[in-house]
Structure 1
Amino acid sequence: MAPKEPEYLEIAHRRSIEKKTHVSFPQLKYPSLRDEGLKDPVQWLTGKALDDGAEGLWRVHDKLYDLEVFIDRHPGGREWLELSKGLDITEAFEAHHLNPSTEKMLAKFYVRDAKTPRNSPFTFKEDGFYRSLKKRVWEELKTIPKTEITRSDKVIDGLLATCLAFSTIACWTENYWLGMLAYLSASLSLAWVMVAAHNYIHKATNFRMYYFNLALWSYRDFRVSHVLSHHLYTNTLMDLEISGFEPMIFWNPRKDRPFYADYAIVIEQFLFPFISIVNYLKRLILIFIRPGFLKQHFGWHDGIGLLLPIWMYLTSGSTFYHAVVTWLWIVCTASYIVLTIGSNAAHHHPRIFKDGDEVSDTTPDWGMHELEAVMDREDINDSHFKVMTFFGHHTLHHLFPTIDHAVLEHLYPVFLELCEKYRANFKVTTQLDMFLGQIRTTLKKRPTLLSEKV
């Protein structure tokens, strides 16, 4: 028998203090290493490997597979398998492989059954919402022209060209107003390049995913924190994009929080501009304090972020000092814009699930959970440019992350039909409401009860 609502609030409060299990999913152990160290992607992978029972192999559902000999033949690129070795990749396998023949291929690498239950609450029943939708989407994709993705390519390439042009002008001009206009334009276009590059980071290895590194970020880190963590375990305790901001910003509802948690919207204004530089410095520090980091997680692509100031110096005729100072202003402003867009995009609103909220099913269909943890914005989804630069079509993107954003809009008829059939909670609002909702979420001190959900 489910506890009565006052009892649930007390139980949830106790679970959050004890940190032995998830609050909403008490059958799951509290994620290892979640609250320790620098909360970097490599630490997240290490902690998850401790909890997944994959025994150094790759786990899908309750079976273990040895994909070592397949790494170089993996159509998505070897990096995905390198990053996920030793993990339960059930959610990633299901969401990233729409072709039914992939399951038959996976069976060739079977080693043995797993010895422990999955440390994930999500199910993928054959007649459930997500698998039913996936089958329909796979058939629908066959009718959509392959050329659709060129719309996305034109947007991100155009933004990159704009960033390069205005960053040069910002260094070159001596006119204050023209310089300010160029600096702001370069910052905005750089931020939009990063947001748009997110579309390509989910896909097989491609050159446009490297655009993400132009502002000192790491696409490889993002493949862990965003693709393998946030997308697959959205707003649960395994979501690194939630835990990574603690103890500065708290998005999960908790009774006992530091006094400054109520001022998250103010903290964001001071924190967001410096995240790009801090993350880059953190990666450099990890080279010296974490054995194997340089070889396993640091690569030539980490130098891409240093190409922009060199470009500005060579093309503007300014001094190197002036180019570097202008570049730092652009990078910090772009960092602020990216994180402001991201934090107000789709996941932080009182109507959206957070760990601690009361749930009707502690073993939900993965697709149904994604709908509970995401909210779309009607005033963003009406333009492909806005979709690419403000994380649009976010619900469909979470369900099918490898599908290009330009294709997602064609899937709505099938998606809405299945939402109605399964009574899935597809939520739509406005960008303004999402912004206000994010503020309200950071102020929440207790979970949402079932009776309070709308």
Structure 2
Amino acid sequence: MAPKEADYLEIAHKRAIEKKTHVSFPQLKYPSLRDEGLRDPVQWLTGKAIDDGAEGLWRVHDKLYDLNQFMDKHPGGQEWLELSKGTDITEAFEAHHLNPVTETMLKKFYVRNAKTPRNSPFTFREDGFYRTLKKKVWEKLKTIPDKENRRSDFLTDGLFVTCLAASTIACWAQNYWIGMIAYIVASFSLAWVMVAAHNYIHRKTNFRMYYFNIGLWSYRDFRISHTLSHHLYPNTLMDLEVSGFEPIIFWNPREKRPFYAKYAIFIEQIFFPFAFIVNFLKKFSLNFLRPNFFKQHYRWHDVIGLLLPLWIYVTSGSSFYDAVYTWLWINCTASYVFFSIGSNAAHHHPDIFKDGDEVSDVTPDWGMHELEAVMDRKDVNDSHFKVMTLFGHHALHHLFPTLDHAVLEHLYPIFLEHCEKYRANFRVTSQLDLFLGQIRMTLKTQPKLLSERR
């Protein structure tokens, strides 16, 4: 008989080709609509609703709830319930609600039990890693001053103001070097304010989440692709921030790949500068490809990204052509910076879990899985500015996404103690290692075996 590891590799590659199940979690259905169309957030939600057995309601664990009457009263804002209606929100409910009172409130909206098993591999046992940690964190939060959030607020607002001022100077300046410096500052501050705005997108409706839209992106779409998809199911087949880059960039280990997949690092240099604009045009094109798309999914804030060139035109006194020209350079550079930061932040490395890798438990604790899919960076977590602009404190942010990044740093003592108790795989490396690891991940064709884990 062949060695167990050789058996697993053969089985894993067969599962990947057949596309009937997740490779690492064969008890799950292959996500509907994953490889179809433009792989946009709305399509992802549609496919998830097909698989989740929520019957048009909201599913939490194995029970269905009718939250229609609660939508206007939801403390986090109506939009969260609007977007997640008809899907299994178990992971979102657990991670977004630390106060145990919410479980009591939820019981008021119970309708009936679900008819099908959950299409998710994760568990939330009372004595498991995540639930016990969540209780400790809830108690710890009571001792942290509310004013801690102000550090993040001031930094984010400062980046926004810097972006506006530098954008104007970049177009207005007659001196080449002043204009060039202003252009660089404007580009980086635009990318950084969008990364910082991500800190607010996870939380209840607030004005700083709209900063994310100034780069032609949509915070509403990001709430789906990032918060409801990537954060809850990182590096699984339900992670839209992995599948959304296919067939341009492949991060899952697969034998059968296009010939150009090995050149991903070069493709990134070409694609990343235009990603903001491509995403904007992709969303616009859906108005012609899907009935009622504009009516159902466009909101007033989708035009915020077009206000930056208007701002440059009005404040710089330059021609409309010069304003648009300057804005395009700033937007494309910011796009390159933003996606370079994101793709090298925490999740793409041969030592990090990806669908296909052999797992020791096909029904892992959700929190334990989050740590398997993340690596933190010691040279980023040492500064709040770097944390806010480079997706720092990544492991804790994944576990408690609604908490401000300034609060997360206070949780390390109990978090590290908890990781040691449960032998959780929390890892810290360097930014350089993650950058090189991301390149290696795009070249990886073989899943990781249990014996290869650190």
TM-score scaled by structure 2?
0.99
Corresponding residue for 2:86? 86
Q: What is the CA distance between 1:292 and its match in structure 2?
A: 2.5
Corresponding residue for 2:296? 296
Corresponding residue for 1:196? 196
Q: What is the CA distance between 1:3 and its match in structure 2?
A: 7.7
Corresponding residue for 1:11? 11
Corresponding residue for 1:124? 124
Corresponding residue for 1:215? 215
The answer as to 2:179 corresponding to 1:176 is: no
Residues 294-343 of structure 1 show CA distances to partners (whole Å, capped at 9, x for unaligned) of 12211100110011111111111100110001001100000000000000
Q: Which moved more, 1:121-130 or 1:280-289?
A: 280-289
Distance in 2 (alpha carbons) for counterparts of 1:29 and 1:383: 42
Distance in 1 (alpha carbons) for counterparts of 2:255 and 2:282: 31
The answer as to 2:252 corresponding to 1:252 is: yes
Equivalences for residues 359-438 of structure 1 within 5 A: 359-438=359-438
- Residue 161 of structure 1 aligns to a residue whose secondary structure is helix
The answer as to 2:167 corresponding to 1:167 is: yes
Distance in 1 (alpha carbons) for counterparts of 2:122 and 2:86: 19
Q: What is the CA distance between 1:91 and its match in structure 2?
A: 0.1
Residues 169-194 of structure 1 show CA distances to partners (whole Å, capped at 9, x for unaligned) of 00101111111111111000000000
- Aligned Cα RMSD in Å? 0.8
User: Match for 2:150: what amino acid?
Assistant: T
- Residue 241 of structure 2 aligns to a residue whose secondary structure is helix
Corresponding residue for 2:351? 351
Corresponding residue for 1:225? 225
Equivalences for residues 238-317 of structure 1 within 5 A: 238-317=238-317
Equivalences for residues 309-328 of structure 1 within 5 A: 309-328=309-328
- Residue 370 of structure 1 aligns to a residue whose secondary structure is helix
Q: What is the CA distance between 1:350 and its match in structure 2?
A: 0.7
Q: What is the CA distance between 1:439 and its match in structure 2?
A: 0.4
User: Match for 1:179: what amino acid?
Assistant: G
Q: What is the CA distance between 1:282 and its match in structure 2?
A: 1.2
Distance in 1 (alpha carbons) for counterparts of 2:405 and 2:331: 26
Distance in 1 (alpha carbons) for counterparts of 2:300 and 2:198: 19
Corresponding residue for 2:46? 46
The answer as to 2:145 corresponding to 1:145 is: yes
Distance in 2 (alpha carbons) for counterparts of 1:292 and 1:96: 31
- Residue 237 of structure 2 aligns to a residue whose secondary structure is coil
- Residue 108 of structure 1 aligns to a residue whose secondary structure is helix
Distance in 1 (alpha carbons) for counterparts of 2:386 and 2:240: 26
Distance in 2 (alpha carbons) for counterparts of 1:210 and 1:121: 33
- Residue 182 of structure 2 aligns to a residue whose secondary structure is helix
The answer as to 2:93 corresponding to 1:76 is: no
The answer as to 2:31 corresponding to 1:25 is: no
Q: Which moved more, 1:83-92 or 1:3-12?
A: 3-12
- Residue 76 of structure 1 aligns to a residue whose secondary structure is coil
Distance in 2 (alpha carbons) for counterparts of 1:29 and 1:192: 37
Matched residue pairs, number?
Answer: 453
Distance in 1 (alpha carbons) for counterparts of 2:134 and 2:62: 21
User: Match for 1:306: what amino acid?
Assistant: L
Distance in 2 (alpha carbons) for counterparts of 1:284 and 1:6: 47
Distance in 2 (alpha carbons) for counterparts of 1:53 and 1:422: 32
Corresponding residue for 2:333? 333
Distance in 1 (alpha carbons) for counterparts of 2:190 and 2:30: 37
Corresponding residue for 2:99? 99
- Residue 274 of structure 1 aligns to a residue whose secondary structure is helix
User: Match for 1:340: what amino acid?
Assistant: S
Distance in 2 (alpha carbons) for counterparts of 1:73 and 1:283: 30
- Residue 106 of structure 2 aligns to a residue whose secondary structure is helix
User: Match for 1:185: what amino acid?
Assistant: V
User: Match for 2:410: what amino acid?
Assistant: H
- Residue 448 of structure 1 aligns to a residue whose secondary structure is coil
- Residue 418 of structure 1 aligns to a residue whose secondary structure is helix
Distance in 1 (alpha carbons) for counterparts of 2:444 and 2:309: 42
Q: Which moved more, 1:176-185 or 1:151-160?
A: 176-185
Corresponding residue for 1:205? 205
Distance in 2 (alpha carbons) for counterparts of 1:18 and 1:243: 17
User: Match for 2:299: what amino acid?
Assistant: G
- Residue 112 of structure 2 aligns to a residue whose secondary structure is strand
Structure 1 segments (4+ residues) deviating >2 Å: none
Q: What is the CA distance between 1:288 and its match in structure 2?
A: 2.2
Gaps of 5+ in 1: none
User: Match for 1:349: what amino acid?
Assistant: H
Q: Which moved more, 1:282-291 or 1:115-124?
A: 282-291
Residues 278-297 of structure 1 show CA distances to partners (whole Å, capped at 9, x for unaligned) of 11111111122212221221
Distance in 1 (alpha carbons) for counterparts of 2:196 and 2:31: 31
User: Match for 2:297: what amino acid?
Assistant: H
Distance in 2 (alpha carbons) for counterparts of 1:202 and 1:102: 18
